[in-house]
A = this chain, B = another copy of it.
Amino acid sequence: MERVSYELIKREKYTGARLGILHTPHGDVELPNFMPVATQGTVKTLSPKDLEEIGVQIIVSNTYHLHLRPGEDLIEKAGGLHRFMGFKGAILTDSGGYQIYSLADLRTLTENKIVFKSHVDGAPITFTPEKVVEIQAKLGSDIAMILDWPTPYPSTYKDARFHMDLTTQWANYAKSFRDSYLNNVSLFAIVQGGTYEDLRIEHAKMLVEMNFDGYAIGGLALGEPKIERDNILEKVTPFLPEEKTRYLMGVGYPDDILSAVIMGVDLFDCVLPTRNARTGTVFTTQGELTIRNAAYKEDFTPLDPECTCYTCRNFSRSYLRHLFNAGEILGPRLATLHSLHFFITLMESIRNAIRGDYLIEFREDFLKKYSSSKVVDNPG
């Protein structure tokens, strides 16, 4: 298995947004792109065939969850995660740092390990920076992430530095381990530093010095205002290498993605399209739409009249509303299919706009139509 590589196709004329290709052992990923979240080895409600039909090229799965259940040894025996879950595209796995931070009962945090209680059965689990790389190697991930320690928002400068320094230390351990024992594993580092520009820049420089296969920007989308997030992105991206993939973790809403692409970000992941769809809110070209809204009771138009997905080609808002009201699983499934199709199509449109040097225009048109969402959700 070869390590991943990034190929820059062009920078957009007016914004500097990057059109590129991430070459992986499981195919080329056109960038900018969006990764649906497959936490437990499945994008919730969808089959791999659904993902292929939508045009998904890369997904993100979770080291933390897969380690707890069913375990990386089982997945390795199955022939790796791709084979286990039947997905032929690329898979990036998150390191578990964020999941431990947000889900687990933390027991011990030291300079070289985290001990936490499994949220599944309460058993104590130890993660080290090295072990986390090893787990991801067993999973057969196309891209492994270093174990990081996300900075909460808000954090004091001192706390932000502590989280950042710990992440640097762990990045070091992970990299040495990879270089010594698992040289075919692609490893991305994660830039921390909270909302402090100088820390972010310092951290980016340090990690770039260490020469990873790609760089993620972590610890954002944790509740900070969009303006602060955009400011950090604007400051930190110039310090990331031109020839490596840039991945903004956990982002986000369409307008967040558009801003980040303009600042030179390539790759995104977020639970928004899938999680919101399961509770009945979908993304459309006219904004978010809440399926259970009484206004859709006898609305026999598709979720999004401009959409070409299976859901919109075959089913009405009225039927979707019925499925959600009746508690039918097909509701979340069709809604998820639609919202992911929306995100994947958005990324394709963004790539076309970069290719044609009309990204600013595209963003304006997109957001103008998109912010008309209030009209869509008005009862009547």
Which residues of A does B touch, CB under 8 Å? 40-42, 44-49, 65, 69-70, 74, 77-79, 84-86, 297-298, 300, 310, 314-316, 318-319, 321-323, 325-326, 328-330, 332-334
Q: Which of B70, B77, B298, B326 contacts A322 (CB 8 A)?
A: B70
Is A69's CB under 8 angstroms from B326's CB?
Answer: yes
- Inter-chain CA distance A298–B70, complex, in Å, is 10
The reply to whether B319 and A48 contact each other, CB–CB distance below 8 Å, is no
Knowing A77-B298, A310-B49, A334-B47, say if A41 contacts B329 (CB, 8 Å). no
Top-6 shortest CB links A-B: A86-B314, A70-B322, A40-B326, A42-B330, A45-B329, A42-B328
Q: Which residues of B contact A328 (CB under 8 A)?
A: 40, 42, 44
* CB contact between A333 and one of B47, B84, B85 (< 8 Å): that residue: B47
CB distance from A80 to the nearest CB of B (A): 12
Report the copy number of this chain in the oligomer: 2
Alpha-carbon separation in the docked complex, A321 to B40 (Å):
12
Q: Distance (Å) between the CB of A124 and the closest chain B CB?
A: 21
Q: Is there contact, CB below 8 Å, between A325 and B69?
A: yes
Q: Which of A46, A49, A315, A319 has the most CB of B within 10 A?
A: A319
Which of chain B's residues have a CB closer than 8 A to the CB of A41? 319, 322-323, 326
Known: A69-B322, A322-B69, A329-B333. A297 touches B47 (CB 8 A): no
CB pair B84–A319 under 8 Å, yes or no, is: yes
- Output the nearest chain B residue to A278 by Cβ-Cβ distance: B329
Determine whether the beta carbon of B48 is less than 8 Å from that of A314. yes
